[in-house]
Structure formats: C-alpha cells, structure tokens
Amino acid sequence: MPEPAPLIESRIYLIRGQKVLLDSDLAALYEVETKTLNRAVKRNRERFPEDFMFQLSVEESRELLRCQIGASNQGRGGRRYRPYAFSEQGIAMLSGVLNSRRAIEVNIAIMRTFVRLRQLLATHEELARRLEQLEWRQNEQGHQIEAVFETIQHLIEAPAEQEPKRRIGFPSDQSERK
C-alpha cells in the first residue's frame, strides 16, 4: 500500500535547486534496505545522469542531518556514506531498476505527489500574478483618486483666497445703512 501524499511530501527536500528524495527515504518507501536500492542503482549507473541523481556533499549531508534529527549519531549506527538524492526523473527511472509491485505502487504515488506540488506551485504563481495586477490597478486608481482629492482641496481652498464679495440687496439692519 503506497504512503499517503503528505508523508511523501514531508520527505521531499529542496537541494541544489531541485526537489529530491533521499535514498534512505526511498528505500523505506519501497520497503528495501538502502544498500539494496543503491546497489541496484550502481548496477544501472548509465540510467542516472547528474540531473536524475547526485551524491550530497559533506556539508549538505551535515546540514540535512541537523534538519532531520538535530545531531548526527556517527559512530553509533550512523551512515558511513553520504546519501544520494533522486530528482523526479531519477525516481521515475527507479521503477525500471526496482522491479517489484511495491516499487511500482510507490512510484505512482510519488509521481502523483510531484504533479500535485507542481499544480500547487502553478496556482500560487497565478495568484501572485493576479495580486500584482490588482496592486498595479490600485496604484493607477490611487493616482486618479489623488488627483480628484487635490482638485476638491483646490476648490475648497479657492474661495478662501478671494476677497469677500459685497452683498446684493437692501441692508436689513440700520447699522449697515450708514
């Protein structure tokens, strides 16, 4: 039974600008040992160019260990080798290398998860684009509204600047007749 999408998503990392899954996480998903998975990949190395799979640097491995468990337990059952990271294409290629029913089911679930992540990203990009358009319109309208307020302010201030006009008509008060 394939893992639910949220569990797969939680195992996806962004390394070197690519969304990847680590060999140990893939091995757990496929229910095989990490060394078994890596052995199958090494037997078919020509299927895994650098953009499909790469080995993490020492620094990347340390950072990842800090993020995952807080500290490495090297020397006490920790990894002896740096992990391999598989891109979406590398994971798809694994389905041809690992030929079990579980591998096929897990690959389908992983591919669906990657597709869903791309759709979410596209939705966010569309929302960001629309928000930018809305802000531009608001700024454009803001300038128009400012011009209206300036005109109103000018009209309000204009009569105050003029001399008071003489009243037309007969004065009603005796003091005004003098």
The model carries a pTM of: 0.60
| Distance separating alpha carbons of residues 81 and 99, to the nearest angstrom | 25
Domains present along the chain, CATH in parentheses = 5-121 (3.10.260)
What average pLDDT does this structure show over 34-57?
Answer: 93
> How many CB atoms are located within 10 Å of the residue 112 CB?
13
pLDDT of residue 154: 66
Range with the lowest mean pLDDT among 61-65, 66-70, 127-131? 66-70
Residues β-bridged to residue 85: 22, 54
Instruction: Please check whether residue 2 is in contact with residue 106, taking contact to mean a CB–CB distance below 8 angstroms.
Output: yes
Split at pLDDT 50, 70, 90, the class of 114 is: confident
Closest CA to 98 of 52, 33, 49: 33
What average pLDDT does this structure show over 84-90?
Answer: 92
> How many CB atoms are located within 10 Å of the residue 120 CB?
11
pLDDT of residue 69: 55
Instruction: Please check whether residue 111 is in contact with residue 86, taking contact to mean a CB–CB distance below 8 angstroms.
Output: no
